[in-house]
Structure 1
Amino acid sequence: MPDPALIAHRGYAGVAPENTVGAAVAAASREDTTMIELDVQPAACGTPVVIHDERLEGDPSRSRAGRPLTDATGLVWETALADIQSASVLGTDETVPTLADVLAAVPDSVGVNVELKHCGASDLRFAELLGPDERAERRALWTPFVERVVADCDAFGGEILFSSFCEGALAAAREVGPEYDRAVLVWDALESGLELARRYDCEAIHPPRNAIAGLPLAGTEYAGFDSEAPAIDIVETAHEEGRAVNVWTVETWVQYDQLAAAGVDGIIVEYPGLRRGSDPLSR
């Protein structure tokens, strides 16, 4: 069985300032990195910027060793691009980049998983299955931003994979950039994730690490799932339908070993070197 693809979560956020050019370049320099995962949302002018949280100072419920995400404040999509680009990330010299800047800095030998995190709307309908009328409305809401993202990705020569928890984002991605692969991110319900994957012809599905049947990890609470065993074998079902399974977010080599043995296709990891036999410090 081949090793799963190693996907660097926010550019290996466990060892580098997340979602920055420096993190992406360092991740790309490792021979074992298959793909870099990053998050995008719009600045006030609509330019796609690479940042996870809705607010520049970060979500206080998300632990980053007590540090604010950046030294700026305010909602990302209400902030001028220049102010976002000058914001220091986690007390380092790295600043919040545009998507175009990150894609220009990494070689096309490494793929990029672009998570469509936010479009600047107040209600994203996170991880919900929508009715037909709502789908059209949400697709239209996301389309202007996704058009900007696709335009940036068109200038990149490597593999691009769009992913999202939001149905509107997946619908817009299929309409605006049908040539790019898509993946549904799963939160709290494998059935809903599979339905979205089918609805939008997604090439992949991204469940959390505790949603893989038969593993000790499945007995832990994470990402909206409780400690009950998964009712669906997501690896078997996805593979029968011709979809890849990329699991998030893995923090230890023990977790990596369990998921690799379960036959997943990719593992989104917080740290480099989790694959057995690799050097965590080598580049």
Structure 2
Amino acid sequence: MLGIPNIDRRTVLEGTSAAVLGSYVGGAASAEGHGDSKSSGNDSTALIAHRGFAGVYPENTVAAVENASRGGNGDGAAKRGADMIEIDVVPCGGRPHEGDDFEVVVFHDDRLASRDGGERGLTDHENTLVWETPCSEVRNAEVLESGETVPTLREALSAIPPSVAVNIELKNPGDTDVRFAEKLEGDELEARKDVWRPFTRRVLDIASEFENHVLVSSFLQAALATTREYDADIPIAFLFWDSIDVGLEITDEYDCEALHPPYNMVAGSPFFNDSYYIDDPGFADIDLIERAHDEGRTVNTWTVGTWYQASQLVDAGVDGIIADYPGLLD
């Protein structure tokens, strides 16, 4: 069990930490819809540090998760610390599904250097696939010229206090055919689960060594399916991408405790259907917050970068914001 309290995973918890606890057990908001949650304000909205507040710290590093846990370093420490820290995991040193030896590292991209065609690489290593690179090289790769290097999952979790929850995003199992944000069936799904199973198991075995409450999320259906196989009590969240309908299908199939939509999928906010990572998305006219709360699920939205975005999303009724900066809920 991954630090999950001995209660039903949809239990409504009281107090100012209700939203963050609800982020992984579900049901933080009223089942009457999201009107009630508007009055709860910033104090009950979970602040989730995206890659350890990637806007101010070198993402997915020990320094990032340490600083995010306490609200900053030096003068910045007066800011609110994260209720939950989101980190990404991939394998290094081999392909788990092919029986290779591997380690789990905290890293977002498939490759060590390139990002979005930019000139500045994510690390100072040559642009190789993480799982095709020896772990010694991956762990010595410097992140964003910060002096920080790529940590293992154990190293990152060791730097996060037990009182701070952790959102582990299963990013890639060591394969280029991940079937991103797709709803799979039958043999296609079983084939992808076979690829994911050894990596998922290793990640969750490591997480079980720590006392932090854990929420597992992914854009990839098979990652959530294999998490449910490992332990049906581990809270999970599907990361919505380009379709509300697909996201809801996967959420319903695996009875996800939380929904993680982009902020432009939040009806009732001024950002609904805005161009964000895709132009003119044309999302279905569905109120995800109302539906989620009616079903006892929570809604944590990504990726929030400004105070204005945060305030509008809180007013719309979200339970948590996955944010690049501390202080957005202060």
TM-score by length of 1: 0.93
Structure 2: 5+ residue runs without aligned partners?
1-38, 72-79, 94-100
- Give the Cα–Cα distance (whole angstroms) in 2 for the partners of residues 155 and 100 of structure 1: 9
Q: 1:16 aligns with which of 36, 40, 57?
A: 57
Structure 1: 5+ residue runs without aligned partners?
279-283
- Give the Cα–Cα distance (whole angstroms) in 1 for the partners of residues 49 and 216 of structure 2: 15
Secondary structure of the 1:156 match is coil
How much does 1:140 deviate?
A: 1.4
Whether the 8 Å contact between 1:6 and 1:268 is mirrored in structure 2 is yes
Secondary structure of the 2:105 match is strand
Residue 33 of structure 1: aligned partner: 82
Residue 87 of structure 1: aligned partner: 141
| Bigger relative CO (Cα 8 Å, ≥ 6 apart) | 2
How much does 1:220 deviate?
A: 1.6
Matched, 1:207 2:256: no
Secondary structure of the 1:217 match is coil
Identical-pair percentage: 48
Secondary structure of the 2:301 match is strand
Whether the 8 Å contact between 1:208 and 1:223 is mirrored in structure 2 is no
Q: 1:46 aligns with which of 87, 97, 102?
A: 102
Amino acid at match of 1:208: P
How much does 1:60 deviate?
A: 3.3
Residue 116 of structure 1: aligned partner: 170
How much does 1:227 deviate?
A: 5.2
- Give the Cα–Cα distance (whole angstroms) in 2 for the partners of residues 174 and 198 of structure 1: 13
How much does 1:179 deviate?
A: 2.8
Whether the 8 Å contact between 1:46 and 1:145 is mirrored in structure 2 is no
Whether the 8 Å contact between 1:160 and 1:181 is mirrored in structure 2 is yes
Deviates further, 163-172 or 220-229: 220-229
Amino acid at match of 2:122: L
Residue 143 of structure 1: aligned partner: 197
Output one character per residue of 1:144-187: Cα deviation in whole Å (capped at 9) or x when no partner.
00011001100110110000000110111111132311000000
Matched, 1:57 2:113: yes
What RMSD over aligned residues (CA atoms) do the two structures have, in Å? 1.4
Amino acid at match of 2:86: E
Q: How many residue pairs were aligned?
A: 273
Amino acid at match of 2:65: A
Residue 281 of structure 1: aligned partner: none
